Amino acid sequence: DAKTTQPTSMDCAEGRAANLPCNHSTISGNEYVYWYRQIHSQGPQYIIHGLKNNETNEMASLIITEDRKSSTLILPHATLRDTAVYYCIVRVAGDDKIIFGKGTRLHILP
């Protein structure tokens, strides 16, 4: 089973920052937090991952709390193309499989 808890759905206005929360209270010290998204039946798309420091790339920022029990994915300026299901995953680096939960369905509103 997935070790994360995410809201089922969220709305965000186009142009605003989308903040997607994730709880992973049982995360182990060697587990990373990964984020993927899936746009309508396409293959899951990698967004970002981190261990304990905050991370930023061209797509998003990842904020991990100091106790590592929760994190937030931030899409700084959401567009309609960001409408997707967003998956928060905890995973040991080098571990084989990814265990997906149900994710958060993000709706970007025009």
Stretch that binds other proteins, among 3-11, 65-73, 74-82, 89-97 (CB under 8 A): 89-97
Q: Binding of other proteins at residue 58 (CB under 8 A)?
A: no
Q: Binding of other proteins at residue 109 (CB under 8 A)?
A: no
Q: Binding of other proteins at residue 40 (CB under 8 A)?
A: no
Please select the residue that binds other proteins; options are 42, 53, 66, 110, rule is CB under 8 A: 42
Q: Binding of other proteins at residue 41 (CB under 8 A)?
A: yes
List Cβ neighbours of 87 (8 Å cut-off, separation of 6 or more).
6, 35, 36, 37, 38, 44, 100, 101, 103
List Cβ neighbours of 34 (8 Å cut-off, separation of 6 or more).
46, 48, 49, 88, 89, 90, 91, 98
Q: Binding of other proteins at residue 101 (CB under 8 A)?
A: yes
Please select the residue that binds other proteins; options are 34, 68, 90, 108, rule is CB under 8 A: 34
Q: Binding of other proteins at residue 96 (CB under 8 A)?
A: yes
Using only C-alpha atoms, what is the Rg of the chain?
13
Where do contacts with other proteins occur on this chain (CB under 8 A)?
34, 38, 41-46, 49, 87, 93-102
